[in-house]
């Protein structure tokens, strides 16, 4: 189908598509159009990555917008949200505006109402539904990208419930679900009342194979000799082999450490192939990476990058991840070794993909468990860069002939697994049952069950009554913890828990005499805050049990033990370290500690203490390098923890207000301290624009203790402390100083001179610059060892 044949798009859209160099639609795209994608029909497109899925979505969204509607594009990752946003921004040429809604990249709800197309994470959409964003009812088209993630134990139910809610909210809504190729795309299509486009077609040929010995054998029967030289590893031979032809590669491994070690080795392969120009650019890139964060991980990454290789995992900061991804896309980096982060993330295609490890540690399996076919296929799908590579190659590594056979059977020839709903898991249902009741989607037990009937779970469920019994467990949990109330009707729904209802009439009759379920004020708050009810219960309980003002550590440990915080892992020997810390600071901790004899629970408690201690270190201005080294984590982990703590403590503050806790202020202060990473005494300074933890500390040491001091302090001192003239001016201006200019001001040593502006400052205490730089340095030295 030629793009000229498309109808119903905004004027200019076709021209835009042609400017992108697209004349003909890919077969799956044409199929999607024939299935009614541009006519508002529901559609499930199960097609490989990089086969033009976004185009299918775009055609549906643009035609919906042209008909006067509004479109929503749901993505699983924040990084993908910004990637899509950048892509859709080009539609502005023909008058289609795009907005983004994610947790950290914020647009106000009113502002989103003015946009034609909105990109959001599934959680954000869920949250918007809970908070009743009124523009949601204007939606006429919803796209769900990577819809197979419904299978994900943690986040799948959110997507599933959100789609069900949007459809209920908006009966005429067009749903377009984009999925990787999965076993049961037809089931998903049935669930969504959608037409199905199920295709293996790819714009670039993908050859998959297994490397064993010196040979690379492909699925089409062809083979290629890839000899191993000397003591090099298989993946090194494969990377070298394709690099000699000018192709880049992506190596997937199963742990961070392996990713780093592999990148170090692969640098030896890429380095000799670099041109002088590339070397210079890579040196700059390495400098940017070191600049972003001063940690060992950054150093290691920068060292690899200088040699044309990189590793990629969640320990990297988001900046570093983007730098690596961009440089790889620009063909500056020749090889990346990555954990699964890269398989599901933003688009980073390579000529050759090597899936080195096909087993991963999984404690629930008691050891190494094989990866899902779907996951391996997702990795392999990264092979082949449209327009750059003649074909893509995906290679698995075998160490024996038997393994080679197994890999062919298990992954090369195998069909991906079915997508199975995980909604009946109690943690998921706990959250979504509350949200569904709180936002008025259901008012009774049977109403809730009726709503759940509209989910994929119900359409897949084989175990009759399972959803019902989990629902009852969850409802009684919610009631016990004061998140919902039952009123009217007969008391207790349990008496009919075992008799599954059969007809709609039964159901209606049951509903009519059934008690009402209503969220309490606390329940509403919890739902709106997007907290797991169990987290909320833990926090409320902890705050209510506090006899005296909670310390920062107490609050940090409290939020760290909620299910919403991904705890740090307790390493061997650390149970002792943190056991000691626990006895030392037991009094600060909120709530009841489990007994030491309940081993698992006590260990969780200590793991939360470890996480809490990390947050305390951060709030005591310990530098990034020290923390990452002390806890053996990457900069990305630290920022992630701080971010989550900030969110949870913000929520905790709302909860504290809700239950009239007397510790609201303590919570707020603890939150502000993690947010800025500073001690209590710097909280005021840090509120001035341009002043962060480092600058605040230096200003404080120079005797400038609060924003008011900035307005009266000697400019020379300020300049000496803040280094840059421009920085100093901006900060003084932000502090509200009348005359912030630094023209003609010379840096003045605060140590032996006056701190006050000689021309008449007011009440700045001269004696307060006493915490000397040396003292602080000593402090951080000694705290290094006390672990």
Question: Which two three-digit tokens encode residue 264?
Answer: 């170090």
The nearer residue to DNA, 26 or 411, going by C-beta atoms, is 411
User: What is the enclosing helix (H) or strand (E) of 649?
Assistant: helix 635-658
Among 653, 658, 701, 706, binds DNA (CB under 7 A): 653
Consecutive H or E run containing 225: strand 223-225
Per rule CB under 7 A, is residue 314 in the interface with DNA? Answer: yes
CA angle 645, 646, 652 (to 5 degrees): 85
d(CA 613, CA 787) in angstroms, rounded, equals 11
* 344 is a contact residue toward DNA (CB under 7 A): yes
Nearer to DNA, 365 or 508 (CB): 365
427 interacts with DNA by CB under 7 A? no
Task: State the Cα–Cα distance between residues 94 and 536, nearest whole angstrom.
Answer: 46
Given the rule CB under 7 A, which of 15-23, 339-347, 501-509, 702-710 is the region that contacts DNA?
Answer: 339-347
213 binds DNA (CB under 7 A): no
Looking at 6-14, 458-466, 638-646, 656-664, which segment touches DNA (CB under 7 A)? Answer: 638-646
204 token code pair: 């670039």
Nearer to DNA, 110 or 200 (CB): 110
Residues within window 605-634 making contact with DNA, judged by CB under 7 A: 632
| C-beta closer to DNA: residue 543 or 651 | 651
- Residue of 144, 249, 258, 439 that binds DNA (CB under 7 A): 258
152 touching DNA, by CB under 7 A: yes
Question: Whole-number minimum distance, CB 197 to DNA, in Å?
Answer: 27
DSSP 495-548: GGTTS---SHHHHHHHHHTSPEEEE-HHHHHHHHHT--HHHHHHHHHHHHT-SS
Number of residues that bind DNA (CB under 7 A): 75
Judged by CB under 7 A, the residue of 29, 98, 121, 348 near DNA is 121
Task: Answer whether 604's CB lies under 8 Å from 562's CB.
Answer: no
DSSP states along 569-612? P--TTHHHHHHHHHHHHGGG--SPPPPTTSHHHHHHHHHHHHHH
Per the listing, tokens 């949990």 go with: 477
**Distance between CA atoms of residues 56 and 50, nearest Å:** 12
Site string for DNA, 755-784 (x = CB under 7 A): ------------------------------
From 86, 90, 287, 365, residue interacting with DNA (rule: CB under 7 A): 365
**Angle value at C-alpha 591, between 638 and 613, nearest 5 degrees:** 25
644 binds DNA (CB under 7 A): yes
**What element of type H or E holds 628?**
helix 624-630
Site for DNA in 704-763 (CB under 7 A): none
Give the nearer residue to DNA in terms of CB position, either 447 or 634.
634
The answer to whether 174 is a known ligand-binding residue is no
Cα 579 to the center of its chain, rounded Å: 32
Q: Minimum Å distance from CB 105 to DNA?
A: 7
Among 66, 260, 658, 701, binds DNA (CB under 7 A): 260
When asked if residue 646 is in the footprint of DNA (CB under 7 A), the reply is yes
Cβ neighbourhood burial of 504 (10 Å; 0-12, 13-18, 19+): exposed
Task: Tell me the residue length of the chain.
Answer: 787
By CB under 7 A, is residue 257 in contact with DNA?
Answer: yes
What's the min distance (Å) between Cβ of 396 and DNA? 12
Q: Among 558, 592, 567, which residue's Cα sits nearest to residue 666?
A: 558
Q: Least distance to DNA from the beta carbon of 500, Å?
A: 32
For residues 622 and 177, give the distance between their C-alpha atoms in angstroms, rounded to a whole number: 46
Decide if residue 191 touches DNA (CB under 7 A): no
Tell me if 546 contacts DNA by CB under 7 A: no
The region of 147-155, 196-204, 409-417, 713-721 touching DNA under the rule CB under 7 A is 147-155
d(CA 100, CA 82): 7
The 3 state secondary structure assigned to 42-63 is: CEEEECCCCCCHHHHHHHHHHH
Closer by beta carbon to DNA, 152 or else 544:
152
Decide: is 357 part of the binding site for DNA (CB under 7 A): yes
What is the Cα–Cα distance from 646 to 650, expressed in whole angstroms? 6
For residues 569 and 602, what is the distance between their CA atoms, to the nearest angstrom? 13
The residue among 103 and 386 lying less far from DNA, judged by its C-beta, is 103
* Interface with DNA, residue 228, by CB under 7 A: no
256 counts as binding DNA under rule CB under 7 A:
yes
Q: Can you tell me which of 174, 254, 560, 664 binds DNA, judged by CB under 7 A? A: 254
What's the rounded Cα separation, in Å, for the pair 673 and 723? 25
Site for DNA in 565-584 (CB under 7 A): 566, 569, 571-573
366 sits near DNA (criterion: CB under 7 A) = yes
Span 369-408, contacts to DNA by CB under 7 A = 399
Binding span for DNA by CB under 7 A among 16-24, 50-58, 561-569, 659-667: 561-569
Neighbours of 315 (CB within 10 A): 25
- Measured CA to CA, the distance from residue 383 to residue 397 in angstroms comes to 16
The whole-angstrom separation of Cα 158 and Cα 401 is: 43
**Interactions with DNA, residue window 70-109 (CB under 7 A):** 76-79, 102-106
Q: Is the dihedral of CA 744, 749, 753, 757 positive or negative?
A: positive
Stretch that binds DNA, among 210-218, 434-442, 635-643, 657-665 (CB under 7 A): 635-643
For residues 136 and 128, what is the distance between their CA atoms, to the nearest angstrom? Answer: 8
User: Rounded to the nearest whole angstrom, what is the least distance from the CB of residue 552 to DNA in the complex?
Assistant: 16
Among 49, 341, 421, 661, binds DNA (CB under 7 A): 341
Q: Tell which one of 131, 170, 322, 347 touches DNA (CB under 7 A).
A: 131
Q: Say whether residue 345 binds DNA (CB under 7 A).
A: yes
564 binds DNA (CB under 7 A): yes
Q: How many beta carbons lie within 10 A of that of residue 505, not counting itself? A: 9
Q: Which is nearer to DNA, 103 or 183 (CB)?
A: 103
Map residue 395 onto helix, strand or coil.
strand
List the one residue from 361, 480, 548, 599 that touches DNA (CB under 7 A): 361
Closer to DNA by Cβ: residue 31 or 145: 145
532 neighbors 562 (Cβ within 8 angstroms): yes
**Residue 528 touching DNA (CB under 7 A):** yes
Nearer to DNA by Cβ, of 4 and 402: the residue is: 402
Please give the helix or strand (H or E) that residue 227 lies within, else none. Answer: none
CB of 587 vs DNA, minimal distance in Å: 28
Give the span between the Cα atoms of 593 and 166, in whole angstroms. 42
Spatial separation of the C-alpha atoms in residues 216 and 396, rounded to whole Å: 9
Determine which residue in the list 84, 85, 124, 352 makes contact with DNA, applying CB under 7 A.
Answer: 124
Among 640, 679, 747, 761, binds DNA (CB under 7 A): 640
Selected from 27, 36, 82, 155, the binder of DNA by CB under 7 A is 155
Distance of closest approach, residue 235 Cβ to DNA, in angstroms = 9
Asked if residue 557 binds DNA (CB under 7 A), the reply is no
Residue selected from 18, 359, 513, 657 as contacting DNA according to rule CB under 7 A: 359
Tell me phi and psi for residue 52, to 5 degrees.
Answer: 85, 35
Please enumerate in sequence order all residues whose Cβ is within 8 A of that of 777, keeping only pairs 6 or more positions apart, or say none: none
Interface pattern 467-506 for DNA (x via CB under 7 A): ----------------------------------------
The radius of gyration computed from the CA coordinates of the chain, to the nearest angstrom, equals: 29
Token pair in block for residue 440: 């008025």
Binding residues: 29
Specify binding-site residues for ATP.
29
């Amino acid at each position: 189908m030629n793009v000229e044949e498309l109808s119903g798009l905004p004027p200019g859209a076709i021209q835009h598509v042609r400017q992108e160099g697209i004349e003909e639609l890919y077969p799956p795209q044409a199929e999607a159009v024939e299935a009614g994608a541009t006519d508002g029909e529901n559609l499930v497109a199960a097609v490989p990555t990089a086969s033009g899925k976004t185009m299918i979505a775009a055609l549906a969204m643009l035609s919906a917008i042209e008909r006067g509607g509004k479109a929503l594009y749901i993505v699983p990752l924040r990084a993908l949200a910004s990637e899509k946003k950048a892509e859709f921004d080009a539609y502005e040429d023909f008058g289609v505006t795009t907005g983004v809604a994610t947790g950290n990249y914020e647009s106000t709800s009113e502002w989103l109402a003015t946009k034609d197309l909105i990109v959001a994470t599934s959680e954000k959409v869920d949250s918007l539904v809970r908070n009743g964003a009124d523009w949601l009812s204007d939606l006429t088209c919803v796209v769900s990208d990577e819809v197979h993630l419904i299978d994900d134990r943690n986040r799948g139910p959110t997507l599933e419930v959100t789609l069900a809610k949007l459809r209920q909210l908006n009966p005429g809504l067009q749903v377009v679900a984009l999925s990787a190729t999965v076993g049961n795309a037809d089931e998903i299509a049935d669930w969504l009342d959608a037409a199905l486009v199920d295709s293996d077609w790819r714009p670039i040929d993908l050859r998959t194979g297994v490397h064993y010995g010196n040979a690379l054998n492909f699925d089409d029967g062809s083979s290629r000799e890839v000899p191993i030289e000397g003591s090099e590893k298989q993946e090194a031979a494969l990377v070298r082999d394709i690099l000699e032809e000018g192709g880049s590669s992506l190596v997937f491994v199963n742990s961070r450490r392996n990713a780093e070690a592999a990148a170090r080795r692969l640098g030896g392969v890429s380095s000799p192939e670099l041109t002088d120009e590339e070397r210079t650019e890579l040196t700059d890139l390495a400098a940017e990476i070191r600049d972003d964060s001063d940690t060992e991980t950054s150093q290691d990454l920068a060292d690899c990058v200088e040699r044309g290789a990189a590793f990629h995992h969640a320990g990297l900061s988001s900046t570093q991840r983007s730098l690596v991804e961009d440089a790889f896309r620009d063909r500056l980096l020749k090889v990346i070794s990555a954990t699964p982060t890269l398989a599901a993330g933003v688009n980073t295609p390579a000529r050759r993909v090597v899936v080195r490890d096909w087993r991963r540690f999984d404690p629930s399996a008691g050891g190494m468990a094989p990866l899902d076919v779907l996951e391996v296929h997702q990795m392999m799908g990264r092979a082949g860069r449209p327009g750059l590579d003649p074909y893509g190659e995906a290679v698995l590594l075998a160490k024996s002939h038997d393994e080679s056979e197994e890999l062919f059977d298990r992954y090369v020839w195998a069909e991906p697994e079915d997508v199975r709903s995980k909604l009946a898991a109690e943690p998921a249902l706990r959250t979504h049952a509350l949200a569904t009741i709180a936002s008025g989607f259901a008012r009774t037990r049977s109403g809730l069950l009726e709503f759940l009937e509209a989910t994929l779970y119900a359409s897949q469920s084989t175990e009759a009554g399972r959803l019902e019994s989990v629902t009852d467990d969850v409802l009684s949990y919610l009631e016990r913890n004061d998140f919902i109330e039952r009123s009217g009707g007969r008391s207790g729904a349990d008496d009919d828990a075992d008799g599954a209802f059969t007809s709609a009439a039964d159901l209606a009759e049951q509903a009519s005499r059934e008690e009402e379920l209503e969220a309490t004020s606390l329940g509403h708050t919890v739902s709106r805050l997007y907290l797991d009810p169990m987290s909320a219960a833990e926090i409320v309980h902890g705050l209510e049990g506090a006899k005296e003002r909670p310390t920062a550590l107490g609050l940090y440990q409290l939020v760290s033990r909620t299910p919403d915080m991904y705890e740090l892992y307790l390493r061997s020997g650390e149970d002792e370290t943190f056991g000691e810390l626990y006895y030392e600071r037991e009094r600060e901790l909120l709530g009841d500690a489990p007994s030491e004899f309940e081993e698992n629970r006590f260990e969780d408690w200590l793991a939360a203490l470890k996480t809490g201690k990390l947050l305390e270190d951060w709030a005591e201005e310990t530098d990034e390098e020290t923390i990452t080294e002390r806890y053996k984590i990457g900069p990305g982990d630290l920022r992630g923890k701080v971010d989550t703590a900030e969110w949870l403590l913000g929520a905790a503050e709302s909860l504290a207000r809700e239950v009239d806790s007397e510790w609201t202020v303590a919570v707020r202060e603890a939150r502000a301290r993690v947010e800025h990473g500073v001690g209590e005494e710097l909280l005021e300074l840090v509120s001035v624009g341009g002043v962060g933890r480092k600058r605040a500390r230096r200003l404080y040491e120079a005797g400038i203790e609060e924003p008011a001091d900035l307005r009266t302090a000697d400019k020379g001192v300020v300049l000496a402390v803040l280094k840059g003239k421009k920085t100093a001016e901006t900060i003084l201006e932000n502090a509200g100083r009348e005359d912030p200019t630094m023209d003609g001001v010379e840096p003045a040593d605060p140590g032996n001179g006056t701190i006050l502006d000689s021309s008449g400052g007011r009440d700045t205490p001269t004696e307060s610059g006493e915490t000397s730089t040396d003292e602080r340095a000593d402090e951080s030295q000694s705290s290094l060892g006390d672990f």
